């Protein structure tokens, strides 16, 4: 058995050995094995399709995979079969990447624990009983468990970056419009982005490069300026200035998160960056996040309207969230959108004075499923969605061991390539 086929066989065995972890919704073993054999043959012939040939991918269950149930983690969509791949999935297949199957997510992508009432409570490989975060919890867990090389997730207010933080992996929310969203079961089209998760920052880059580009199936996708790929050459952080938002002090962060953040700042300085404190004036993290949640509930009520009147199609909990958004009324929704715009504008003003913002990814590390989810999980991530700018999360190992922390870099529009390069330098410093 050649290398790619052996790897795929090992990963399929790992998945099959842990069904109780509820990480995968469905595994396409036969097709994955055939794709692995084809990849091995291309590589042996010296004709790989590119850097992703033979790389295995777990796909979040709200992204369409042709011929598979396209559930978005919802009971009422178990019988919905995707007719074609989502744009990001199709682009990965074209590079020789191997789609292993679809992974679990928070029901309807509206939540951050991935305790799914239909498909099971998704485990976090870092500790028994811990949540992997959400809504892309299965994506983070699959990568952390070594069940897939990389994963696709979606990020509405932090749904790629929070699982990356809780599972000790890396993830990026791209610039709005960089990655086409064709074949995504939307939660909130105003905020939703498709982005990858990987064991390290370096492995994010080829995936993002492969899935980026205009998409005729997504009217909001954009032709990125050529400069978005800049920054992928070896360099250090000399001459760069990273801003630490004063508003971090307004968020209740657990001590270990702040310890990890301090380590990340030391690593950035060691790599040559200047660290300054900035006032992101106009951003109130909790208030902005609450506005974004109401918008997500309201837009989700439109996206899932057909399910709301069908018995047992969605859980009572999700029904309540969507009904709340549907019935919010124009004045409250106008105010919610205004909060988001104010936070986004504040982010852009702050970025005009620095190269990137640096801040913790989430106010807490992974917590037990049995504990109520903190309301502030997305306080520090949502601002990038409101601004439409890229944000990359990377793990921060803690000296005392145990669960890792996580830090994120938030950059200017179309700085995705540079942001990944800078994050990779910080990751390397943290490893020394």
DSSP per-residue letters across 238-283: TT-EEEEEGGGGGS---HHHHHHHHHHHHHHHHTT-EEEEE--TT-
Q: Residue 228: pLDDT band by 50, 70, 90 thresholds?
A: confident
Catalytic positions: 60, 135, 159
Percent of the chain past pLDDT 70, that is, above it, reads 98
- pLDDT, tens digit, for every residue of 62-113? 999 999 999 999 999 999 999 999 999 999 999 999 999 999 999 999 999 9
Quote the pTM value: 0.97
pLDDT tens-digit map of 330-348: 999 999 999 999 999 999 9
Q: Are 275 and 358 in contact (CB under 8 A)?
A: yes
Cα(416)–Cα(403) distance, integer angstroms:
27
CB 210 within 8 A of CB 324: no
Cα 91 to Cα 65, 223, 236, distances in angstroms:
12, 16, 31
- Measured CA to CA in angstroms, residue 302 lies from 24, 194, 211, 237, 327 at distances of 27, 20, 27, 44, 11
| Cα–Cα distance measured from residue 124 to residue 19, given in angstroms and rounded to the nearest whole number | 13
Task: For residue 177, give the nearest of 159, 160, 199, 192 by alpha carbon.
Answer: 192
Name which of 101, 108, 103 is nearest 74 in CA terms.
108
């Amino acid at each position: 058995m050649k290398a790619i086929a052996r790897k795929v066989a090992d990963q399929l065995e790992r998945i099959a050995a842990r069904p109780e972890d509820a990480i995968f919704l469905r595994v396409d073993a036969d097709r994955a094995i055939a794709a692995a054999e084809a990849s091995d043959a291309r590589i042996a012939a010296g004709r790989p399709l590119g850097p992703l040939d033979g790389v295995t991918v777990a796909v979040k269950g709200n992204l369409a995979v042709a011929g598979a149930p396209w559930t978005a983690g919802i009971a009422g969509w178990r019988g919905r079969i995707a007719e074609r791949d989502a744009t990001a999935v199709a682009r990965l297949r074209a590079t020789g990447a191997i789609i292993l199957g679809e992974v679990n997510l928070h029901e309807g992508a509206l939540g951050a624990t991935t305790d799914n009432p239909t498909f099971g409570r998704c485990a976090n490989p870092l500790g028994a009983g811990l949540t992997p975060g959400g809504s892309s919890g299965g994506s983070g867990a699959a990568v952390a468990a070594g069940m897939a090389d990389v994963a696709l997730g979606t990020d509405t207010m932090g749904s790629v970056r929070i699982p990356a933080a809780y599972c000790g992996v890396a993830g990026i929310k791209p610039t709005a419009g960089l990655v086409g969203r064709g074949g995504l079961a939307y939660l909130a089209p105003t905020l939703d982005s498709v982005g990858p998760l990987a064991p390290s920052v370096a492995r994010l880059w080829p995936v993002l490069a492969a899935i980026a580009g205009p998409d005729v199936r997504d009217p909001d996708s954009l032709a990125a300026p050529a400069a978005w790929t800049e920054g992928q050459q070896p360099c250090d952080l000399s001459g760069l200035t990273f801003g630490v938002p004063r508003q971090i002090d307004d968020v209740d962060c657990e001590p270990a998160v702040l310890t990890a953040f301090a380590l990340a700042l030391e690593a950035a300085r060691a790599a040559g960056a200047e660290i300054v404190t900035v006032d992101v004036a106009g951003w109130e993290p909790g208030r902005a996040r609450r506005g974004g949640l109401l918008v997500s509930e309201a837009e989700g009520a439109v996206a899932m309207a057909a399910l709301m009147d069908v018995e047992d199609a969605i859980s009572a909990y999700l029904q309540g969230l969507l009904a709340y958004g549907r019935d919010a009324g124009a004045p409250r929704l106008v105010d919610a959108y205004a909060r988001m715009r104010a936070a986004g504008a504040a982010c852009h003003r702050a970025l005009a004075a620095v190269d990137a913002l640096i801040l913790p990814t989430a106010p807490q590390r992974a917590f037990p499923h049995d504990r109520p989810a903190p309301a502030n999980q997305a306080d520090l991530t949502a601002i990038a969605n409101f601004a439409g700018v890229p944000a990359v999360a990377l793990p921060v190992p803690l000296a005392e061991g145990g669960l890792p922390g996580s830090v994120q870099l938030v950059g200017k529009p179309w700085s995705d390539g540079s942001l990944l390069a800078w994050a990779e330098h910080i990751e390397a410093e943290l490893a020394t």
